[in-house]
């Protein structure tokens, strides 16, 4: 699914005939061979290019005056659209969510992290070298030697591929990672591609996200299974799976095994879904989190409680992005009523051993984990910016609370657009 997971991107930049395309194609092939989902963007610096074939039906559609044509087959989709002006790279990238990485060729003015390609055998690269040595990689003077539009860009050079000794020495002095650029016809070039891909994986590839729907509670106050409770024509657990899937590379449903939830795989055959039985007999937030962390295959695990009928996939995606960028072990919303650990994101490799130890010691509160790891909190204002309608933390422990959730009008809440911390309290709705 992954419709809400932003794709990180890195741009390979250089002057004409620097060899960018060969490098980019080899990098895409290697990353794909490593099992990554790779998108790509190629900047064409001139107006009037066409990917349509004269004489074909789609070409005739365009010739007849269509401003947008979609060509669809069993395994591919192409969209050709006439635009009044050049579409910026960030707009294109926003339309390409869910990739592990997007490899961009060109777009020096995009503000993306850039890998600079400079080759001794390319006259334009040699001519640009003096400006680089005098002013630096990210200076307007150096950028202008390749693209006048890039003078004011906020892009950051994160690595250099070069066989020009002076450029290599300058990069080393500046602390910029530098890779020796051999001929594409040599075995050294293949090894270079491997090292570049290692660098991209370590620094830019998006960690994959698992969303765990926690359905292992005892439901004592509800009087019946929360997971199977009807909510607007479907079981709550099915609603949560469908609702959260756009924020997930994989979806887990954790359960104590009292309910048969195997039907979910049939109901949601388009989603990578696994029902995971609780790993320990004890009930509580921490044992449930232990099951989620042990069952997930992704490095980031976002959890939501099954009775949070309006849990937000946008919030889960934002928590995952913040966790990835911040270096925290957990990203947890917090308001006047305290933490919301059952609509939060956790780093699997750092949180799992701590949770195991706490559960072994007889601790069942999520708050005990938060006291032991590095936590980035989300304020009510930050949550409101992501989920203006509120209600994402509202849960149902009784039939009466569930009925109030059923009657909650999201559209009415959105029309008000009044920031209200109480919207994020468990018991508001």
Q: Which of 203, 231, 261 is the last residue of a domain?
A: 203
The phi, psi pair for 157, rounded to 5°, reads -75, 120
Please give the Cα distance from 248 to 316 (Å, whole number): 9
pLDDT band at 426 (very low <50, low <70, confident <90, very high): very low
The region that residue 395 occupies, defined by phi over 0 for left and psi between -120 and 50 for alpha, beta otherwise, is beta
Residue 189 has pLDDT above 60, yes or no: yes
Residues paired with 9 in a beta bridge = 102
Give the domain CATH number at 259.
3.90.550.10
Q: Which of 203, 230, 262 is the last residue of a domain?
A: 203
CA angle 81, 146, 100 (to 5 degrees): 55
Pair 184, 226 in one domain:
no
Six-digit token string for 291: 């099951």
SS3 423: helix
Residues paired with 106 in a beta bridge = none
Burial environment of residue 139 by CB neighbours within 10 A (0 to 12, 13 to 18, 19 or more): middle
Pair 134, 245 in one domain:
no
Q: Long-range contacts: 261-264, Cβ < 8 Å, 24+?
A: 261/215, 261/227, 261/237, 264/237, 264/238
- Asked if 398 and 317 count as a contact pair (C-beta separation under 8 A), the reply is no
Which residues, 6 or more positions from 321, have their beta carbon under 8 angstroms from its beta carbon?
Answer: 6
pLDDT band at 68 (very low <50, low <70, confident <90, very high): confident
Residue 163 has pLDDT above 60, yes or no: yes
Pair 181, 213 in one domain:
no
Pair 148, 223 in one domain:
no
| Domain range for 375 | 209-424
- Average pLDDT score over residue span 375-400: 90
Q: What Å distances lie between residue 58 and 54, 68, 79, 84, 116, CA to CA?
A: 9, 10, 10, 20, 38
Give the domain CATH number at 188.
3.40.50.300
Pair 167, 237 in one domain:
no
Please give the Cα distance from 24 to 38 (Å, whole number): 11
2 domain residue, yes or no? no
Pair 150, 250 in one domain:
no
Query: Is the pLDDT higher at 428 or at 270?
Result: 270
Please give the Cα distance from 127 to 104 (Å, whole number): 24
Question: HEC states along 169-224?
Answer: HHHHHHCCCEEECCCCCCHHHHHHHHHHHHHHHHHCCCCCEEEEEEECCCCCCCCC
In the chain, the number of structural domains is: 2
- Asked if 213 and 306 count as a contact pair (C-beta separation under 8 A), the reply is yes
63 domain residue, yes or no? no
DSSP string computed for 99-124: -SEEEEES-GGG-SEEEEEE-TT-HH
pLDDT band at 385 (very low <50, low <70, confident <90, very high): very high
Q: What pTM value is reported for the model?
A: 0.78
pLDDT in tens, 293-342: 999 999 999 999 999 999 999 999 999 999 988 889 999 999 888 999 99
74 domain residue, yes or no? no
Residue 253 has pLDDT above 90, yes or no: yes
The pLDDT score that the predictor gives to residue 106 is 87
- Asked if 207 and 300 count as a contact pair (C-beta separation under 8 A), the reply is yes
64 domain residue, yes or no? no
- Asked if 2 and 97 count as a contact pair (C-beta separation under 8 A), the reply is yes
Residues paired with 252 in a beta bridge = 212, 274
pLDDT in tens, 412-424: 665 554 444 444 4
Which residues, 6 or more positions from 41, have their beta carbon under 8 angstroms from its beta carbon?
Answer: 9, 89, 92, 93, 96, 102, 103, 104, 105, 107
The pLDDT score that the predictor gives to residue 146 is 59
Pair 282, 143 in one domain:
no
Six-digit token string for 390: 């509120």
DSSP string computed for 148-162: GGGGG---EEEEEEE
pLDDT band at 149 (very low <50, low <70, confident <90, very high): low
Pair 309, 236 in one domain:
yes
114 domain residue, yes or no? yes
The pLDDT score that the predictor gives to residue 421 is 40
The phi, psi pair for 210, rounded to 5°, reads -100, 140
35 domain residue, yes or no? yes
SS3 67: coil
Low-confidence winner among 43-47, 103-107, 188-192, 399-403 (lowest mean pLDDT): 43-47
429 domain residue, yes or no? no
Pair 319, 255 in one domain:
yes
65 domain residue, yes or no? no
Q: Residue 66 carries which DSSP code? A: -
- Asked if 15 and 122 count as a contact pair (C-beta separation under 8 A), the reply is yes
Q: Which of 166, 187, 203 is the last residue of a domain?
A: 203
Pair 278, 323 in one domain:
yes
Please give the Cα distance from 278 to 179 (Å, whole number): 48
Pair 190, 214 in one domain:
no
Pair 282, 400 in one domain:
yes
């Amino acid at each position: 699914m992954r419709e809400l997971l932003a794709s990180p991107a890195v741009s390979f930049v250089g002057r004409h005939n620097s060899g960018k395309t060969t490098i980019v194609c080899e990098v895409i092939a290697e990353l794909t061979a490593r099992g990554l989902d790779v998108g790509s963007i190629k900047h064409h610096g001139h107006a009037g290019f066409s990917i349509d074939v004269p004489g074909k039906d789609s070409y005739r559609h365009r010739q007849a005056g269509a401003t947008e044509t979609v060509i669809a087959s069993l395994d591919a989709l192409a969209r050709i659209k006439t635009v009044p002006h050049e579409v910026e790279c960030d707009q294109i990238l926003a339309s390409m969510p869910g990739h592990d990485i997007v490899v961009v060729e060109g777009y020096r003015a995009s503000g993306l992290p850039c890998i600079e390609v400079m080759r001794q055998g390319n006259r334009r690269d040699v001519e640009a070298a003096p400006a680089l040595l005098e002013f630096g990689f990210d200076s307007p003077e150096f950028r202008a030697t390749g693209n006048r539009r890039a003078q004011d860009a906020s892009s950051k050079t994160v690595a250099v591929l070069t066989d020009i000794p002076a450029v290599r020495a300058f990069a080393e002095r500046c602390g910029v990672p530098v890779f020796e650029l051999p001929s594409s016809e040599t075995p050294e070039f293949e090894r270079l591609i491997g090292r570049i891909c290692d660098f991209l994986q370590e620094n830019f590839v998006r960690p994959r996200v698992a969303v765990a729907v926690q359905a292992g509670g005892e439901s004592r106050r509800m009087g019946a299974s929360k997971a199977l409770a009807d909510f607007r024509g479907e079981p709550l657990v099915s609603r949560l799976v469908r609702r959260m899937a756009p924020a997930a590379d994989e979806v887990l449903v954790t359960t104590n095994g009292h309910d048969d939830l195997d039907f979910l795989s049939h109901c949601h055959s388009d989603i990578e879904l696994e029902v995971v039985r609780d790993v320990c007999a004890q009930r509580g937030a921490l044992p449930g989190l232990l099951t989620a962390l042990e069952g997930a295959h992704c490095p980031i695990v976002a959890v939501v409680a099954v009775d949070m009928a309006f849990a937000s996939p946008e919030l889960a995606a934002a928590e995952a992005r913040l966790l990835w960028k911040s270096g925290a072990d957990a990203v947890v919303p917090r308001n006047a009523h305290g933490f919301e650990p059952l609509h939060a994101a956790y780093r699997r490799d750092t949180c799992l051993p701590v949770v195991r130890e706490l559960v072994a010691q007889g601790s069942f509160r999520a708050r005990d984990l938060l006291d032991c790891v590095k936590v980035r909190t989300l304020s009510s204002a930050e949550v409101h910016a992501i989920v203006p309608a509120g209600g994402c933390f509202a849960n149902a422990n009784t039939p009466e609370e569930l009925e109030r959730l059923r009657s909650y009008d999201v559209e009415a809440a959105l029309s008000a657009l009044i920031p209200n911390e109480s919207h994020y309290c468990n018991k508001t709705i």
